[in-house]
Structure 1
């Protein structure tokens, strides 16, 4: 048997979808519980550090990127290329090279968009 302190009882707060969305946006990577506690009990102090969550800096870019990924057949195409390469049936003609280069450019562009949306600096 351990000497754990009993956990405090939960607190329930009903919000409209708009109010919750606003809280989540304002929390910027913090859990809602941590954000609400900070705002209620210690709003004059700097916000507490989050546990590795990086706030999204650009929601529009992130939404655009997620839409592009949802419409893309990129993962299917790359899987098919990998399967063909592993079986030895990948013909490396000009058309294939062009398709691979285009896929690599698309992936690099998506990576850049994602890093920008998350506020992460890229490689120099």
Structure 2
């Protein structure tokens, strides 16, 4: 019989943990980076510049955390379905929810622009 490969190992990370590992990996595959860190803790990842190097890792981690904690996509989807079926009551609460969603998306966009240093490219 042929050799059997061991089953893959899965690891759940928070958005912040994953953002940090991706930043530390500097363009390497996450699996390769994690494997090298576990098996050779003194190894230092080579620094490579990607197409869009991250200027501010803290801002990017903050954005990813906001997205992880936010039910924004689900809430906007529910609002769109209600609007399409004609069952969306236009109340002060609905208006406030929509304005809050717009504000959150705008803030996330600004954080992403800052983290990726896109101001310099726009």
The structure whose RCO (Cα within 8 Å, separation 6+) is larger is 2
- The match for 2:96 is 98
User: What TM-score does the superposition give when structure 1 sets the normalisation length?
Assistant: 0.61
Q: Give the alignment's TM-score, normalised by structure 2.
A: 0.62
Aligned pairs, number: 84
Name the SS for the 1:27 alignment partner.
coil
Question: How do 1:14-25 residues align onto structure 2 when only pairs under 5 Å count?
Answer: 15-16=36-37, 19=43, 22-23=45-46
Q: CA RMSD in A?
A: 2.1
Segments of 4+ in structure 1 off by > 2 A? 14-20
Question: Gaps spanning 5+ residues in structure 1: where?
Answer: 1-13, 30-52
Larger radius of gyration: 1
| 1:57 and 2:65 correspond | no
Corresponding residue SS for 1:89:
coil
Mark the runs of 5 or more structure 2 residues left unpaired by the alignment: 1-34
Partner of 1:39: none
